[in-house]
Amino acid sequence: MSSTLSLLEEEFNFVGKRVPKYDAAQKVAGAAKYMIDLKLPGMLYGKILRSRYPHARILSIDKTKAEQLPGVIAVITAKDVPRIRFGFMKDNMPLKEEFVLSCRDEIAAVAAVDEETAERAIELIEVEYEPLPALFDPLKAMENGAPILHRELKSNVVDLGLNFKKGDVSEPFRSSEYVVVEGTYRIGFITHTALGTMGALAHYEPSGMLNIWANTQSPFLYQRELAQALGIDPSRVRVIQPSIGGSFGRGMDLYPPDIIASLLSMKTLRPVKILFRRDEDLANSPTRQPAIFKIKTAATMEGKLVARSVEAILDVGPYISWGAFDARVMMATATGQYVVPNVEFTSKHVYTNNPYSGTMRGAGNPQINFAIETQMDILSEKLGIDPVEFRIMNANRPGYVTPQGMRITTCSMEETLRIAEREIGWRGRHKAGKSVGIGFASLFHVAGGARVYRSDGCGTIVKLDDFGTVTVITGASEIGTGSDTAITQIVAEELSIPLSKVRLVNDDASVRPWDVGIHASRMTFVGGNSALMAARKAKEKLLRLASEYLQERYEDLRIKDGMIFSKRNSSKSVEYDKLLRRAHFREGGDVIVASHFYDPPNQMADEKTQSGNISATYGFGTQAVLVEVDEETGKVTVKKVVAVHDAGRIINPLGAEGQVQGGIVMAMSWALTEELILDGGLVVNNSLADYKLPTAAEIPDIKVIFVGEPDPEGPFGAKGVGEHGCIPTAAAIANAIYDAVCVRLYELPMTPERVLKAIKNSKAS
């Protein structure tokens, strides 16, 4: 990577500049095509019949009346389709045959000429059930004697082996030399609430090709999983991503609607779209994995952390998703966010009859961070040490290797704390004013890919044409984070050509080289590096052509603003597009195509020891939050957030700031108001009137500051940042609430009711 670093001394044209999103014009004008905009000739509309009970035996299904309804083209149940298990643990079926395990379980589906007909047909399907006792509490589901939801298993607890131990925690916890704190933290149900609701459009063609427009984050894994779920050759599945209106992690898994749309299309040979209405989306989309953490931490009287143990219990609902990996991310933070020599982490995934969960932005880190960082606050107070100083004392630093083997390279954790402290105006505990408080929380997260799959790579093909257009066919997916903008900046920078000359192709996966997907804040880092290196290969070819044309040595050539010139004799120059045409339009001509597959230098965690340097580099940050608490109502108002993040060199400050701001707002919502309310396993607040997201008026003053040095492995020194903004916010708010009104909250969301109750309990005790 020496040639990247050599560029750091230069003036950049695009890197570090505030560049509007690549697709901004299209989106602002309403011209971007989202799932809702897609319409194919002859397209049918699919609807799904879901279970009436959270847990039941299906006695019979009668679809006769539905089939007779005019406009209905197909009605399918499990009996009409291949019985193939799918999902992260192959514990799910697209249509359930004997047992339903949640209120959202899919029983039958209809394809009809319009949405209304499909809905009426769904109502005409008659199902007889035998209701069975349901489990909504993971602790109860773990008890001996609890009904077993998956009959083929022996327990509702799935041990995925995501446990880790280094050193010995028991001795420090017993020792009177140390200060020990412990607590139990609870995270409730929320869902991703992306602007674009869930759905898919499947078109199975007579040729045997299945074309599927999907809101997936991982088109290449999706291709394989969908093919397997349908029992067809993955070579016959073509995945196309339309514009995606946010995804936030739920696009990592394959869910039943996509399989059902495909099955309906295979049956009808017509395009079939299933797209959730907002109420369906709130009720039937995956959730962030609800969690219970039991955490215990010991520190010396001087404030050095000595031991920490974390027990995580995760409610997965009836089916396990990529959310299973959240436990591994929780483990990394529990054991690695601060220097702690003795650590222990255990996790249990528990089946219940609740809605199934998925993974969500931060992949477990926001949840564990809430617990760890509020406990850090408690511990620092117990030790009588300033919370910022306490964190600095125990912070990661370059060269440190965490107990799991994660190698810290660039790291400005201390700087993020010092700047956050200064910018928020911290003067010490309980000094912000009456009912006003300041809280801090830091974060540690992957920022150089995350090898959670056997490949963490991304491929790019770069094609230069006679007009100087650089077409970048990238494996990288765009779900609204702005990674494609960063990629175009990187390519334009490397080739030193106008940004307008870079065209990105990232919709049709069948023409794109492989990529594992957009998750773990990896896209700009991994996709950016892949694009950078492909562009570099193209540049080399371009400079070879220039060397021949200008009769100058390759080493003496430079490209700047689309001109290639000799460093020794700047009067010798040529426009890059002219050179392309000259190489092309001659006998024995050639055009420039280059490709690169970048697989970051990281490791897959060892399955037994859970050790391995999972990311090629790591990101750090601290958020300081100023809140005001209404002691009469318990309402918490976030007045200001200072977010200081180390994400290496920022490719696009406009985009990166937006990512951090969006993360903070999302986390604030989750921390204070947002919660799926369940009644007997059924989501009852499935409207945006009842599911409380913040409005523009509730957004606090947010100041985003980037610190840190260019990362030697990152493209032009960049590290990932997409998820980082949402990680420490909840803990910082909780710590600020404590700073304001001296009550600790152990459960999210911190609604006015819970805050008020805590205040009352505090006053009572």
Among 423, 465, 556, 747, binds a second copy (CB under 8 A): 465
586 lies in the binding site for a second copy (CB under 8 A): yes
254 lies in the binding site for a second copy (CB under 8 A): no
273 lies in the binding site for a second copy (CB under 8 A): no
Minimum distance from residue 44 beta carbon to a second copy (Å): 15
Question: What are residue 284's phi and psi, to 5 degrees?
Answer: -120, 5
Looking at the Cβ atoms of 232 and 755, the one nearer to a second copy is 232
Strands 44-50 and 72-77: unpaired
Among 208, 384, 425, 433, binds a second copy (CB under 8 A): 208
Question: What are residue 372's phi and psi, to 5 degrees?
Answer: -60, -45
Q: Give percent helix, percent strand, percent coil of the chain, each to the nearest 5.
A: 30, 25, 40
| Cα(531)–Cα(462) distance, integer angstroms | 8
Please tell me the count of residues contacting a second copy according to CB under 8 A.
Answer: 58
Go through the chain and tell me how many residues it has. Answer: 765
In the shown chain, the binding pattern of residues 470 to 489 toward a second copy, with x for contact by CB under 8 A and - for none, equals: -x-x----------------
Q: Is 507 helix (H, G, I), strand (E, B) or coil?
A: coil
| Cα(646)–Cα(722) distance, integer angstroms | 12
Q: Which stretch binds a second copy (CB under 8 A): 75-83, 228-236, 293-301, 698-706?
A: 228-236
Q: Which stretch binds a second copy (CB under 8 A): 276-284, 431-439, 599-607, 667-675?
A: 599-607
Q: Which stretch binds a second copy (CB under 8 A): 168-176, 191-199, 503-511, 567-575?
A: 503-511
Residue ranges of the alpha helices (H) in 35-143?
64-68, 115-124, 138-141
Residue type for position 60: S
Among 130, 177, 233, 690, binds a second copy (CB under 8 A): 233
Among 147, 231, 398, 589, binds a second copy (CB under 8 A): 589
> Looking only at residues 34 through 53 of this chain, which bind a second copy when binding is defined by CB under 8 A?
37, 39, 41
Among 288, 451, 519, 724, binds a second copy (CB under 8 A): 451
Looking at the Cβ atoms of 593 and 742, the one nearer to a second copy is 593
Query: 194, 666 in Cβ contact below 8 A?
Result: no
| Cα pseudo-dihedral 29, 30, 33, 36, rounded to 10 | 180
HEC profile of 239-255:
EECCECCCCCCHHHCCC
510 lies in the binding site for a second copy (CB under 8 A): yes
Q: Which stretch binds a second copy (CB under 8 A): 398-406, 593-601, 649-657, 695-703?
A: 593-601
429 lies in the binding site for a second copy (CB under 8 A): no
In the shown chain, the binding pattern of residues 7 to 26 toward a second copy, with x for contact by CB under 8 A and - for none, equals: ----------------x-xx
Among 242, 257, 358, 468, binds a second copy (CB under 8 A): 468
| Cα(504)–Cα(524) distance, integer angstroms | 14
114 lies in the binding site for a second copy (CB under 8 A): no
| Cα(327)–Cα(88) distance, integer angstroms | 14
302: left (phi over 0), alpha (psi -120 to 50) or beta: alpha
Q: Which stretch binds a second copy (CB under 8 A): 172-180, 500-508, 565-573, 703-711?
A: 500-508
Looking at the Cβ atoms of 120 and 581, the one nearer to a second copy is 581
Tokens of 240: 């196309």
Q: Which stretch binds a second copy (CB under 8 A): 51-59, 239-247, 578-586, 737-745?
A: 578-586
Strands 563-566 and 573-575: antiparallel
Looking at the Cβ atoms of 29 and 697, the one nearer to a second copy is 29
Burial class (CB in 10 A: 0-12, 13-18, 19+), 261: buried
Among 13, 300, 435, 603, binds a second copy (CB under 8 A): 603
Looking at the Cβ atoms of 400 and 597, the one nearer to a second copy is 597
575 lies in the binding site for a second copy (CB under 8 A): no
> Looking only at residues 136 through 165 of this chain, which bind a second copy when binding is defined by CB under 8 A?
none
Measured from the Cβ of residue 214, the count of other Cβ atoms closer than 10 Å reads 28
Beta-bridged to residue 309, according to DSSP, are 296, 344
513 lies in the binding site for a second copy (CB under 8 A): yes
Among 166, 463, 645, 719, binds a second copy (CB under 8 A): 463
* CA-closest candidate to residue 659, choices 425, 512, 445: 445
Minimum distance from residue 244 beta carbon to a second copy (Å): 17
Instruction: Please state, in angstroms and as integers, the Cα–Cα distance from residue 132 to each residue in 54, 148, 284, 303, 406, following that order.
Output: 8, 11, 21, 52, 46
Instruction: Please state, in angstroms and as integers, the Cα–Cα distance from residue 258 to each residue in 86, 253, 265, following that order.
Output: 12, 10, 11
Residue with tokens 């408080």: 437
Q: Which stretch binds a second copy (CB under 8 A): 124-132, 414-422, 555-563, 597-605?
A: 597-605
447: left (phi over 0), alpha (psi -120 to 50) or beta: alpha
Query: 476, 513 in Cβ contact below 8 A?
Result: no
457 lies in the binding site for a second copy (CB under 8 A): yes
Q: Which residues bind a second copy (CB under 8 A)?
A: 23, 25-26, 28-29, 31, 37, 39, 41, 205-208, 220, 224, 227, 233-235, 269, 451, 454-455, 457, 459, 461, 463, 465-469, 471, 473, 500-501, 503, 505, 510-511, 513-514, 584-591, 593, 595, 597, 599, 601-604
